[in-house]
């Protein structure tokens, strides 16, 4: 099936699931006895109506993304999605994750969740490259160049560029890639869209209306040209070229390192693209949330002890710390997944990275 049609089908699946959930809630609430309904804090009909309105808001937003997919389909942009068949989204859960990623990256509500991750990564970048950036501004030289692989919807990329650095980014998950392009091209005005991403999460609520709360995106103005295009594709494939050798002064990875099917190759590719003396700062878990099975690449799941040993072949790890963090969660839910994330700051040595870039 055409990749664009797969994405559109996934959106339709979420729409069908949403309507089904509203029907279920309506059936269960209105099926209560009159005595039971009398004890509800708000009328069953009102609850169902609020859910219908929230679902409509989400489907309007997703419809705009669907229209965007159709508009760019003819441009050939989506033809490259064929290169990543294993990453194509499946089912309504993929859209739910997308909506929650919009909250994390491009809303005021997501600020607290992303704060420590971004502060550690951007703080490492500033401490390592700020003098070089100032010197470049005064001398007219090019700004230090930063790579952001697995950039999700592009917020970290945006923050790097906003600080005056040159940067590139890539993303290999089709829905996240398309979502990021949608933000870049059609969400340039602050709070131009409003979604209610948690409407289907009727369990584990503290308050009656937690699931229908409105989230405005984006929380910043994105001036035209502020965000360059993100490259679509897998980091280890895109940058396995001779031209990429030593072409970046820094690399920042946020919840991205463990998305590769071969994390050792990922480390060696990082060593390939970062110049000697350059920075690699990472924040994220080692969850290895990829669908690696016998039909596709075999996943390599390393412990931090093993991974740090591999990193140390090419980098001096100057800082490391385990930090508890959430990722694209529902902050008002009684049930959340909390990760123990590894933050490290490492500086590239001069040891070659064999087998990458034609070496």
Quick: pLDDT tens for 141-199: 999 999 999 999 999 999 999 999 999 999 999 999 999 999 999 999 999 999 999 99
d(CA 209, CA 275): 51
pLDDT at 200: 98
Q: Where are the alpha helices (H) located in the chain, listed in sequence order?
A: 3-30, 34-37, 44-73, 91-106, 111-139, 155-162, 174-186, 235-238, 263-273, 304-311
Contact 271, 348 (CB under 8 A): yes
Alpha-carbon Rg for the chain in angstroms: 22
Label residues 158-195 b or e (16+ Cβ within 10 Å = b): bbbbeeebbbbbbbbbbbbbbbbbbbbebbbeebebeb
Mean pLDDT along residues 85-106: 85
Asked if the model's pLDDT at residue 309 lies above 60, the reply is: yes
The mean pLDDT of 268-286, rounded to a whole number, is 98
**Residue 159 within a domain:** yes
User: What pLDDT, on a 0 to 100 scale, did the predictor assign at position 72?
Assistant: 81
pLDDT computed for residue 298 by the predictor: 54
Instruction: Determine the Cα–Cα distance for residues 299 and 290; give it in Å rounded to an integer.
Output: 8
What is the C-alpha separation between 250 and 309, in angstroms, rounded?
A: 20
Task: Rounding to the nearest 10 degrees, give the CA dihedral for residues 331, 111, 327, 59.
Answer: 70
Residue 105 lies in a domain: yes
298 contact partners, CB below 8 Å, separation of at least 6: 261, 292
Is the model's pLDDT at 357 over the cut of 90?
no
- Per the domain annotation, does 314 fall within a domain? yes
Give residue 210's pLDDT.
98
Question: Which helix (H) or strand (E) is 195 found in, with range?
Answer: strand 193-195
pLDDT of residue 328: 97
Residue 211 near residue 202 (C-beta atoms within 8 A): yes
Tens of pLDDT, residues 36-80: 999 999 999 999 999 999 999 999 999 999 999 998 877 766 666
Residue 270's closest CA among 166, 157, 262, 322? 262
Tell me, yes or no, if the pTM score tops 0.75: yes
Number of domains in the chain: 1
Tell me the sheet residues that pair with 345: 281, 319
- Asked if the structure places residue 90 within a domain, the reply is yes
* Better-predicted residue by pLDDT, 299 or 345: 345
User: Please, are residues 116 and 32 in contact by the beta-carbon 8 Å criterion?
Assistant: no
Asked whether residue 353 is domain-assigned, the answer is: no
pLDDT score of 164:
95
Q: Is residue 356 part of a domain?
A: no
Please give the residue that has the higher pLDDT: either 220 or 260: 220
pLDDT of residue 292: 43
178/152 Cα distance (integer angstroms): 10
User: H or E segment at 249?
Assistant: strand 248-254
> How does residue 329 score in pLDDT terms, banded at 50, 70 and 90?
very high
- Domain residues for the domain of 84 are 3-348
Choice among 62-66, 71-75, 100-104, 248-252 with the minimum mean pLDDT: 71-75
Q: Is residue 9 part of a domain?
A: yes
CATH number of the CATH domain containing 331: 3.40.50.150
Whether 280 is covered by a domain: the verdict is yes
């Amino acid at each position: 099936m055409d990749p664009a049609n797969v994405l559109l089908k996934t959106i339709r699946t979420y729409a069908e699931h949403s309507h089904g959930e509203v029907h279920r809630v309506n059936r269960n609430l209105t099926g209560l006895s009159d005595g039971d309904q009398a004890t509800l804090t708000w009328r069953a009909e009102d609850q169902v109506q609020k859910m219908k309105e929230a679902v409509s808001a989400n489907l309007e937003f997703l419809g705009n993304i669907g229209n965007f997919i159709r508009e760019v389909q003819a441009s050939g942009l989506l033809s490259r999605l064929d290169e990543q068949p294993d990453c194509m989204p499946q089912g309504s859960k993929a859209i739910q994750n997308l909506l929650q990623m919009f909250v994390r990256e491009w809303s005021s509500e997501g600020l607290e969740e992303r704060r420590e991750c971004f502060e550690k990564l951007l703080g490492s970048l500033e401490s390592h490259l700020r003098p070089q950036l100032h010197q470049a501004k005064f001398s007219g030289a090019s700004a230090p160049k930063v790579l952001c692989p697995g950039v999700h919807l592009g917020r970290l990329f945006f923050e790097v560029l906003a600080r005056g650095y040159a940067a590139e980014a890539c993303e290999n998950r089709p829905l996240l890639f398309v979502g990021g392009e949608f933000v870049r091209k059609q969400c340039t005005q602050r709070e131009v869209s409003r979604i209610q991403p948690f409407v289907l999460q009727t369990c584990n609520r503290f308050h009656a209306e937690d699931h229908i709360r409105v989230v405005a995106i984006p929380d910043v103005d994105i001036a035209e040209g502020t965000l360059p295009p993100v490259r679509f594709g897998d980091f280890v494939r895109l940058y396995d070229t001779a031209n990429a050798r030593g072409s970046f002064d820094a690399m920042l990875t946020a919840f991205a390192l463990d998305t590769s099917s071969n994390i050792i190759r990922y480390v060696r590719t990082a060593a390939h693209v970062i110049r000697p003396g350059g920075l690699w700062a990472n924040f994220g878990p080692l969850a290895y949330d990829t669908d690696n099975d016998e039909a596709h690449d075999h996943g390599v799941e390393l412990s931090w002890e093993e991974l740090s040993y591999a990193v140390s072949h090419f980098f001096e790890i100057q800082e490391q710390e385990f930090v508890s963090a959430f990722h694209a969660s529902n902050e008002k839910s009684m049930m959340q997944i909390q990760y123990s994330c590894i933050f490290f700051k490492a500086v590239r040595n001069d040891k070659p990275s064999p087998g990458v870039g034609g070496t």
